[in-house]
Chain A
Amino acid sequence: MVAASLMDTLAPAPTLRPPSAPAAASSAPGSGPAPAAETLIEIDHVDFFYGAVQALHDISLSIQDKKVTAFIGPSGCGKSTLLRCFNRMNDLIDGTRIAKGSIKIRGIDIHRPDVDVIELRKRVGMVFQKSNPFPKSIYENITYGLKLQGVSNKARLDEVVEKSLRGAALWEEVKDRLHTSGLGLSGGQQQRLCIARAIAVEPEIILMDEPCSALDPVATAKVEELIQTLRTRFTIVIVTHNMQQAARCSDKTAFFYMGKLIEYADTRNIFMNPANPQTEAYVSGRFG
């Protein structure tokens, strides 16, 4: 099954899709009759180590395009570690390595040494647990990624700022103070600013690492609402501690425990009809 889906993804798109052509890959020829089930990220028997400590044990999982996939599990189960493998943020931590297996995005093994990590991160955006806008203005926060890519056309930047802030449902709240510091916003607004910043560079995938854990319920509701609107344009992988959140937002859910993938299925099945007794114990609140 794994080999077959690899063949599928390798054939139409040997390189990552350029951000300016968001619809190109999904309509690529030969990808089968059901585009909804197209695999975007293929994780194949991955073992991951922090120095001598093994954090992930033999994880295999395929994440589908234009779906919201939730990773749940108790603290320290490895879900954030796996998420950070997708844009190689673990490279920033000394002594981390993938000992076995591979992670492929559209058939490209992203951990090969010759992969352009900078390019990868442009395609795979990330939103962090603690909102971290730069100590710059709102406008500069949004345009940061584009400016890195050498975009300096004022009209284009203005357009992207408005589009991204609208996309992150923040435009109406900040349109009159675009040039004030991003740190002056409330916690929830800051997190949506971070989402706007991530979508400004038009990534294909957005990784969210517990994006609501530091937010109050109202702000959380807004971010969740936002996820619902973003799912049509982006593939979203979200790590969360909040099981209701996983149930509300995601199409598929993966349950991790002690660095192992216990169960991965449609969200409805995970919560209504879990196959594994450990999953059932966790989602019903008996541990974790």
Chain B
Amino acid sequence: MASSAPADDRHFIAYKGSFRLFGLTLDDCIRVFFGGNAVVSIIVLALITYFLFREGSGFFGQNRDNLTVYRHAGLEYVDFIRTQQDDHAALTRYLSDLRVRQFNYSTTDKRLSLAAANAALAGFDDFAGQYGDSVEPIRTLVSDLTEQTTAIKERFTVMEDKKVERTQLLAVGKEAEAAAVRIVPIDFVAELKPILGTLPAYREASADFAKRLTAVLAEAPAMPAPELQTRMDRFQQLNAEYMAGFPAVTRNLETWDYNKPVPVTQAFSSFLFGRQWLTASFWQDWYGVIPLVVGSVMVSLVALIIAVPLGVGSAIYINQIASPLEQKFIKPCIEFISAIPSVVLGFFGIAVLGQALRALSQVAWLSWVPGFPYSERLNILTAGCLLALIAVPTIFTLAEDALNNVPRAFKEASFALGATRLQTIIRIIVPASLSGIISAVLLGLGRVIGETMVVLLCAGNRIAIPDFTAGLAVITQPVHTMTGIIAQEMGEVVHGSIHYRALFVVGMLLFFLSLAINYAAQRIVRRYRISIG
């Protein structure tokens, strides 16, 4: 600080110091310093958002190109037939499930020996074998077509790469070398001719397939138990529906046009509603985010179901019931949980919790619990339990704040009317702080949805929509999550590739999700403040 005017008895008013830095007074400097800090954080936020969008936005154009190639190269055409084959495979799995059930029935209900049970199933196995083989004509066709279309796609990709190469050479001025890069545009009409030419062959194969199927189904063996017979009837019914779909497949093939433009919306919808996330595939890459979203949501849901009672319950205990001594001990303990690095938690999940839960699921008298016993150590449940641990401190701290904001007068009034402590908590304290508690839960959800390390290590990382037909047992299945996929794949993708951009779009989706959750939480808190008055 510059020295102010020397104390002079005659001057009552103290003059300001003459300190100047780049023409700024001390007050201005302080202003610039603190204001600058605020501005920097806003700029950083803006930059992050900008890059996220810049990197991600290119995805949709690339995805459309991707879908266009899928159509031009005839992959789409082949997939019509392939779907038919896959549906048959699904029905075959139904049949093997039925075999397991019959086998269990024979061994447990009828108490047959293993050999005898297998022998009893010989007729069924024969039937299942014939059923499985009936798809043969279609299978042969698909595998031929697959080779041909993959070759077209391959040539197209090479051509695209060459185009890029030439552009790059031109950009650095090597025109002679650029001219040397030979680019032969692919004549899709000519290329596709042999493929489209297989239509009569398909008609024949399909008819043959339908005939064989009908013949096999007519000789379906009778089931030993009514319950099993119901399943067999259901199987027959599914097959009837399946075969009724054959003409539609033929129609799709007949009307298919390689040149039909891919609508722009499909670039978005195939991402947002796509049920497959399939990368580095020899056939076709799909970037459908649904399996990841479902995985994230399932894991977060399990985490919240565990964390909300724990967090809110302990907040109520600390705020309303605990003695000061207990408060001094418990509060830091719970808040300390958030100090554990999530990778350590994930490691703990793999090494201890996953094992322990699996061992628990295999305890005989717990077999009534849905999904028990299970063998996948890393699954929704394991990841959810650990994420709950991460959400508890957040929910606890914020819910405790909300409870603290309830005026003491409410509590006193309730007690003075002869309420017990429990009645006061349930009827007055919790309702009065409910919006605060809800926003605490929402922020806990935000914390959980954005958590990466734990889910990457403990969720099992299987990219598939879990099988919801299993009911509650769905929580014992492995999933992959939005955060996990970014962490896992971002290191391996080619910069600027469609896969790279797809991961950025997943990041954008996460960003919007967190934003929405935080916004909702803030809105609720604001309303709550007003209502207390």
Given contacts A94-B324, A183-B533, contact A134 B418 (CB under 8 A): no
Residues A148 and B409 in contact, CB atoms below 8 Å apart: no
B413 interface hit (Cβ, 8 Å): yes
Residues B417 and A89 in contact, CB atoms below 8 Å apart: no
A136-174 CB contacts (< 8 Å) to partner B? 136, 144-145, 148-149
Q: Which 3 A-B pairs have the closest CB atoms?
A: A132-B409, A122-B418, A126-B416
Given contacts A135-B431, A183-B533, contact A145 B418 (CB under 8 A): yes
User: Can you list 26 A-B pairs, Cβ within 8 angstroms, ordered by A?
Assistant: A87-B416, A92-B412, A94-B324, A118-B420, A121-B416, A121-B417, A126-B413, A128-B412, A128-B413, A132-B409, A132-B412, A132-B413, A134-B410, A134-B413, A134-B432, A135-B431, A135-B533, A144-B414, A148-B417, A148-B423, A149-B418, A183-B531, A183-B533, A197-B413, A197-B417, A198-B416
- Report the separation of the CA atoms of residues A89 and B407 in the bound assembly, to the nearest whole angstrom: 16
Q: Chain A 83-98 against B: per-residue CB contact (8 Å), 1 yes, 0 no?
A: 0000101001010000
Of the candidates B415, B416, B531, the one whose C-beta lies within 8 Å of that of A135 is: B531
A125 interface hit (Cβ, 8 Å): yes
Residues A89 and B416 in contact, CB atoms below 8 Å apart: yes
Q: Which of B414, B416, B423 has the most chain A CB within a 10 Å cutoff? A: B416
**Chain A residues in contact with chain B, CB under 8 A?**
87, 89, 92, 94, 118-119, 121-122, 125-126, 128, 130, 132-136, 144-145, 148-149, 183, 194, 197-198, 201
Residues B532 and A135 in contact, CB atoms below 8 Å apart: yes
Q: Chain B 486-498 against A: per-residue CB contact (8 Å), 1 yes, 0 no?
A: 0000000000000
Residue of A nearest to B407 (CB): A132
Residues B419 and A148 in contact, CB atoms below 8 Å apart: yes
Of the candidates B410, B419, B420, the one whose C-beta lies within 8 Å of that of A132 is: B410
- Report the separation of the CA atoms of residues A94 and B323 in the bound assembly, to the nearest whole angstrom: 9
- Report the separation of the CA atoms of residues A136 and B532 in the bound assembly, to the nearest whole angstrom: 10
Residue of B nearest to A149 (CB): B418
Residue of B nearest to A133 (CB): B413
B88-129 CB contacts (< 8 Å) to partner A? none
- Report the separation of the CA atoms of residues A144 and B423 in the bound assembly, to the nearest whole angstrom: 10
A261 to chain B, nearest CB (A): 24
B410 to chain A, nearest CB (A): 6
B427 interface hit (Cβ, 8 Å): yes
Which residues on A sit within 8 Å (CB–CB) of B409? 128, 130, 132
Residues A201 and B417 in contact, CB atoms below 8 Å apart: yes
Residue of B nearest to A147 (CB): B427
Residues A145 and B531 in contact, CB atoms below 8 Å apart: no
Which residues on A sit within 8 Å (CB–CB) of B427? 144, 148
B26 interface hit (Cβ, 8 Å): no
B428 interface hit (Cβ, 8 Å): yes
Residue of B nearest to A122 (CB): B418
- Report the separation of the CA atoms of residues A149 and B532 in the bound assembly, to the nearest whole angstrom: 26
Which residues on A sit within 8 Å (CB–CB) of B428? 134
Which residues on B sit within 8 Å (CB–CB) of A119? 418
Of the candidates B415, B418, B420, B532, the one whose C-beta lies within 8 Å of that of A92 is: B415
Of the candidates A89, A133, A197, A201, the one whose C-beta lies within 8 Å of that of B415 is: A89
A51 to chain B, nearest CB (A): 12
- Report the separation of the CA atoms of residues A112 and B409 in the bound assembly, to the nearest whole angstrom: 26
- Report the separation of the CA atoms of residues A87 and B418 in the bound assembly, to the nearest whole angstrom: 10
- Report the separation of the CA atoms of residues A28 and B432 in the bound assembly, to the nearest whole angstrom: 44
Residue of B nearest to A132 (CB): B409
Which residues on A sit within 8 Å (CB–CB) of B416? 87, 89, 121, 125-126, 128, 198
- Report the separation of the CA atoms of residues A211 and B402 in the bound assembly, to the nearest whole angstrom: 28
Residues A121 and B413 in contact, CB atoms below 8 Å apart: no
B358-390 CB contacts (< 8 Å) to partner A? none
Residues A89 and B412 in contact, CB atoms below 8 Å apart: yes
Which residues on B sit within 8 Å (CB–CB) of A197? 413, 417
A234 to chain B, nearest CB (A): 15
Which residues on A sit within 8 Å (CB–CB) of B407? 132
- Report the separation of the CA atoms of residues A147 and B351 in the bound assembly, to the nearest whole angstrom: 52
Which residues on B sit within 8 Å (CB–CB) of A135? 410, 431-432, 531-533
- Report the separation of the CA atoms of residues A136 and B407 in the bound assembly, to the nearest whole angstrom: 14
Given contacts A94-B324, A132-B412, contact A121 B531 (CB under 8 A): no
Residue of A nearest to B413 (CB): A132
- Report the separation of the CA atoms of residues A119 and B414 in the bound assembly, to the nearest whole angstrom: 13
Residue of B nearest to A135 (CB): B432
Which residues on B sit within 8 Å (CB–CB) of A87? 416
Q: Which of A144, A194, A201 has the most chain B CB within a 10 Å cutoff? A: A144
